[in-house]
Amino acid sequence: MRKKSRFITLEGIDGAGKSTHIKEISQWITNQGIEVVCTREPGGTPFGEKLREMVLHEKMDIMSETLLMFAARNEHIKTVIEPALNQGKWVLSDRFTDASFAYQGGGRGVARETLRTLAAWVEVRSPDLTLLFDIDPALAQQRVAQSTPQPDRFEQEQRLFFDRVRDAYLERAQQNPDRIVIIDSAANLSDLKSTVINILNERLV
Ligand code: TYD
């Protein structure tokens, strides 16, 4: 029998290492005989990638930043995520709405109520599973400094900003315990990889 479509998202502060796991997760899905679409936010569509360029590099008001994140998300949902899920494919997205609650909500101080309204406006379906790569912001900042020669607007933020972003992610996890799984991203890479695969086997098979 064909498995029902699933929507999986990866989250975490900059430097948490979430992107490292995309390949093995998509390989795991393919091994189940299922077609997977790997995508990211902000971006995921030609229009969204243009907005990404702008929102990551140009100075702007916080609400403009928030609206652009949701404009890119709307396009992404309507033209990539929903069509793929409707065709029975699985979708793996590097970030989604939780990132807006964490960065714009926690980091920048946009009211949660505003974000809930925008999310309700664009979201057709919540993720089935979200892996939250959690790490001490001090360690994450060291990783970003070593690996990113030209940091974007978010990566240039100070430690306190990332403390707030992390707290907001953890708050989301507390509010959505059935959907969001917290992964200790300070563990060594091979342990982390097996943790991720174990979660997929437990939650999705
Ligand atoms: P990121 O996945 O970190 O890209 P890269 O690995 O190429 O640096 O995403 C880019 C940034 O966008 C990241 O700092 C978080 C930010 N962001 C928001 O502030 N709000 C959002 O809703 C999303 C999706 C991302």
Q: What is the pLDDT of residues 62-117, one digit of tens each?
A: 999 999 999 999 999 999 999 999 999 999 999 999 999 999 999 999 999 999 99
Q: Tokens at residue 198, please?
A: 């174990």
Predicted pLDDT at 178: 97
| pLDDT 10s digits, 115-170 | 999 999 999 999 999 999 999 999 999 999 999 999 999 999 999 999 999 999 99
Name the residue of 58, 154, 164 whose CB sits within 8 Å of the most ligand 1 atoms, as the mutation to test its pocket.
154
Ordered domains of the chain (ranges, CATH): 7-204 (3.40.50.300)
Closest ligand 1 atom to the C-alpha of 97?
A: 22
| pLDDT of amino acid 72 | 98
Per-residue model confidence (pLDDT) at position 191: 96
Asked whether 157 lines ligand 1 (CB < 6 A), one says: no
Quickly state the pLDDT bin for 38 (edges 50, 70, 90): very high
- Is the shortest distance between the CB of 180 and ligand 1 below 6 Å? no
Q: What is the pLDDT of residue 21?
A: 96
The rounded distance, in Å, linking the Cα atoms of 59 and 11 is 24
Q: What is the pLDDT of residue 2?
A: 59
Nearest CA owner, ligand 1 atom 19: 103
What number is the average pLDDT over the span 191-199?
Answer: 97
| Ligand 1 centroid from CA 33, angstroms | 30
Contact 115, 105 (CB under 8 A): yes
pLDDT-based confidence at residue 56 (cuts at 50, 70, 90): very high
133 within ligand 1 shell (Cβ under 6 A): no
Question: Given the CA of residue 103, which atom of ligand 1 is nearest to it?
Answer: 19
Is pLDDT at 1 greater than 70 in this prediction? no
The pTM score is 0.97
**Virtual torsion, Cα 195, 201, 204, 205, nearest 10 deg:** 180
pLDDT given for residue 103 in this prediction: 98
* Nearest by Cα to 21 from 196, 203, 182: 196
**18 falls in which pLDDT band (50, 70, 90)?**
very high
Residue 3 clears pLDDT 90, i.e. is over it: no
Residue 82's pLDDT is 98
In Å, how far are 6, 30, 32 from 27, measured between CA atoms?
15, 5, 9
| Mean pLDDT score, 179-191 | 96
The end-to-end CA distance of the chain, in Å, is 13
Residues 6+ apart with CB under 8 A from 42: 48, 51, 52, 55, 56, 68, 69, 72, 73, 95
